[in-house]
Structures are given as C-alpha cells and as structure tokens.
Chain A
Amino acid sequence: MKFTLNIWRQKGPDERGRLVTYEARDVSSGMSFLEMLDSVNQGLIAKGEEPVAFEQDCREGICGSCSLVINGIPHGPDRGITTCQLYMRRFPDGAVITIEPWRARAFPIIKDLVVDRRALDRIMQAGGYISVHTGGAVDGNVLLISKDQAETAMDAAACIGCGACVAACKNASPALFVGAKVSHLALLPQGKPERTSRVKAMLEAVDREGFGSCGNQNECEAVCPKRISVRFIATLNREYLWSGVVESGLPAEPESPHAESA
C-alpha cells in the first residue's frame, strides 16, 4: 500500500509549524499506524534527516501517550481506540492522511506532534486524590460498596489521561477528563470527606491552565478511547454546584470571644 501523509512539523514551541508532505511506500495492511510512521522515520534517519517526533509507549491502548489527530479526528477514524491501536488496513490504498498534534493553548507543542500535557497532571495535583497516609488503612471489606457503585466508579476511573477530549473539544475543554476523576472519587465512600474541596480545587486549576469551558457538544465522548460517558460531566457540574452550597469546613468558633476562658 501507499499513502500520502501531510504531517505537522514544528521545530519547537516558539517556532512556526507547517504541514509537510511525505510519501509512505511499501506499507502492509497489517502495520499499525505508528509502525507506518516508524518506517517513514527510518527512511528519514537513513537520509540523515530529522525523524518526525511523535509520542507512544505501551502500544496497547492503555498508557495514554499516543496523541495524533488523524484527518481531523483525535485517535483517528475508529471509535473506542487509541492511535496505537489503529491499523493501516483501515485506510484505502493511496489515501491522503493529515496528521496533526493535539491543539490547545494548555498543551503547548514541544516538537512536531509532541505536546506538553503537564497541565493535566497539575489539575490532578490540585485535588485528584484521597489524602490518606500509607499504613493504618482499615480492612478492605470494612467499607461495603455496592457492585453497581463500584462498576460506575470503574467506568469513570478507566480514563487514560490522553487528552483526546481536549483535542476534540471546540473549546479545548478538559471537562470529560476532570469529570471522570471527580466522579470516580465522588462515587466512592472513601472520596466523600474531600468531595467539596476536591471539585473546587480541580476546576480552579482548569481555569488557571487556560483551558476552555465545556459546550456540552459531546464530541469528547465520541473520540474517547475508553468511551467515558459525558454523564460524568453532569456529575462534575453537580458536584461543583453542591460544593458552593455545602462548605466542607465551616468554622466552628464560639460566638463570643469570651466563651472560653484562657
């Protein structure tokens, strides 16, 4: 098989990028999309040229490294998979394929198709955890969690943090990513103590990072390799609204300063 590739090349974060056309020859239909790029790169290296930079690691759809917008859709034409799980038999011979990076202000381009997604880590650092010390946890069966609840939490927790939701969103919003994390922890009893502070802190971080806001277009759901449902965005919004009503740490000071004698 043979393909014409229009690939975004950009030397660095502050350089101007452009689409450059390459020919991929002798591609077999059993090659994965990334192996096809590997072979293009091997040709470039042999000529002493700089290969196209792109991200990948596990190549089995779970690490969330790979991040290509293929013909205008993050992770390419198939649903429910990552770029690394896409195979060339999916494309007709001779097809023209345009490959671009995730595009968002919060994801500055490092080089070519590689973007900096640390903004997602910073959102997690703002509150995407349960503050529990190692050791001293009670027996796992002390907390009974219904099967349905555990399954729904798992549906949310399946997020791989690839950022395709941001890439697909017209507004570059990470609502699905944040919604998945907030819902996962809010659905479980272990996550309840920090429920209100968590959602506020994480959404503040979203605004700080320069992401856009959710337009409820559900494009994120359609490209999510783990098929995370947009209902978790509704849960996120509900958690946020609720956090404005219920303050987790109301000050419990005595009315009169003299109530307690020194």
Chain B
Amino acid sequence: MALPSNHFRSSVGSKVVMALSGLGLVIYVILHMLGNLQVFQGSHAFNGYAVFLRDMPILLWTARIGLLSLAAFHIVLAIQLTLRNRHARPVAYAVREYRQASFSSRTMAASGFVLLFFIIFHLFHLTADMIDPSSVDRLDVEGHRDVYGKLVHAFQNPFIMALYLAGQLGLGLHLNHAVTSSLQTLGFEYVAFNRLFKAAGPTVALVVVLGNVAIILAVFLGIVHG
C-alpha cells in the first residue's frame, strides 16, 4: 500500500501528517512524564533510570533524531498551514464572537510557540547544561551521573521553576485541543466512542501536566530534596 506523496501535499493531507507527528510527540511526552515520576523514588532509582537510557546509545540517538524530525515536520507544516489559513481571510471581522471554539483551540499557534521556546530552553538547560552555570555534573555515591541532584538543584531556583510552570501551561493548552483534534483529522468517528474521542484531549493534557507539575513543585517545596 504505497501512499502517493502528493496525497499528503493537500491541506487535509498536511493536517494528517501534522496529526500523526503530533501524536508521536504526545506519546513521547507521556513516557517522558512517566519516567521522570521516578524522581519520587529517590536518587538511586532515578539515576539508575538515566543510566538505563544512556546504556542504549543507538536507541537513544534514534529516538532523539526521530523526535527532532517529528517536531520539524510538525512545525514546518504548522507554519505552512497557518500561513495558508491567514491568507484565506484577508479582511478581518470588525466584531467577532465565538460560540463553541475553545480558548485552547483558538490559541494553538501561540501555545505552540510557547512550547517550542520552552523545549529549546529545556534542552539547553537540562540536556546540554548550557543555561545554569551553578549546576554541576557530579557523580553520585554509586558512581553514576547525578541527574537527580541536577534536577533538584534546578527546580529549587524560583526563576527556573516559574519558567517550567509556564512551559507546562503552554503544553497543557496545546494538548487539550491537539489530541482530540488529531483524532478528528485522522477520521476517528464512531457514535459509541465519540465522547471518548472528545475527552481524550483534556484527559491527556491534565495527566501530563499534573505529573510534570508534581515533580516541579515537589522539588521546589522541598518534598523531594537532595
């Protein structure tokens, strides 16, 4: 079943690719959150998890490149479609009232931008260690890299914590519309399940954001400490 490539150059085709790449990223975000919840099990478990990931460099880099390309597809198509959409209404309404469109659905571009900048910041901050000079790459007692200590150190800083919370706001808003919207774009529609599809977006957004925020606040409030 070869999919003709020009099938995906149409606007609906582009949206399908956006939905698929977006859903790929959503799965990653969920796994990322679940993995990081191990911070509540203490430094041993958490650093062990980091070692587990680093021990599979091929998988790790494949995943990283995969994620980057998914994000790239998603962003490029988003820009393309947004430009096309702006073009479709050259003169704006003088008075505009929305009846049903949710706030998050109307701010996808904005929340997407917030998310993009947050991810770049996050990568420079915790993956590449290029933001916080006071952060040090130490080894823990077992001789593993002390990722746990780095995380705790980072979120004790109120400025960093606030930035991460803002990022979660962007993420939550984006996911709230994105997941349900993607299912619609992929043609998931069946009377018995339509309520489930509708609930998917807010549910995923809530779970991911709650998980992530729990980690950030737990550190800041000293529940999780070094």
Contacts and interface: CB of A to CB of B under 8 A. Distances in A.
B4 A244 contact: yes
B3 A245 contact: yes
Contact of A104 (B16, B89, B100, B194): B89
Interface in A179-219: 200, 203-204, 206-207, 210-219
Interface size class on chain A is 35 or more
Contacts of A222: 99-101
Interface residues of B, number: 45
A214 B84 CA distance: 11
Nearest to A152: B191
A213 B15 contact: yes
B180 interface: yes
B1 A245 contact: yes
A145 interface: no
A214 B87 CA distance: 14
B180 A170 contact: no
A200 B95 CA distance: 35
A41 interface: no
A20 to B, nearest CB: 12
A236 B186 CA distance: 10
Nearest to B99: A222
Contacts of A218: 100-101
> By CB atoms of chain B within 10 A, which of A105, A204, A211, A237 has the most?
A237
B98 to A, nearest CB: 6
B157 interface: no
Contacts of B13: 240, 244
Nearest to B191: A231
Contact of B85 (A213, A239, A245): A213
A203 B10 CA distance: 8
A238 B93 contact: no
Given A100-B95, A215-B108, A231 B87 contact: no
A218 to B, nearest CB: 5
Q: Is the interface of A mostly helix, strand, loop or mixed?
A: mixed
Contacts of A73: 97, 99
B187 interface: yes
B12 A105 contact: no
A235 B90 CA distance: 29
Contacts of B106: 170, 217
Interface in A78-126: 79, 98, 100, 103-106
A11 B169 CA distance: 46
B12 A213 contact: yes
A9 B206 CA distance: 47
A256 B90 CA distance: 55
Given A172-B88, A215-B85, A233 B3 contact: no
A238 B180 contact: no
A64 to B, nearest CB: 20
23 contacts: A8-B94, A17-B91, A103-B93, A170-B101, A170-B106, A172-B89, A210-B88, A213-B11, A213-B12, A213-B14, A213-B84, A214-B12, A216-B184, A219-B98, A230-B184, A237-B16, A238-B186, A238-B187, A238-B188, A242-B187, A244-B3, A244-B8, A245-B1
Interface of B: 1, 3-4, 7-8, 10-16, 81, 84-85, 87-102, 105-106, 108, 177, 180-181, 183-189, 194
- Please provide the 3 A-B residue pairs with the shortest distance between their CB atoms, ordered closest to farther: A238-B187, A234-B189, A212-B88
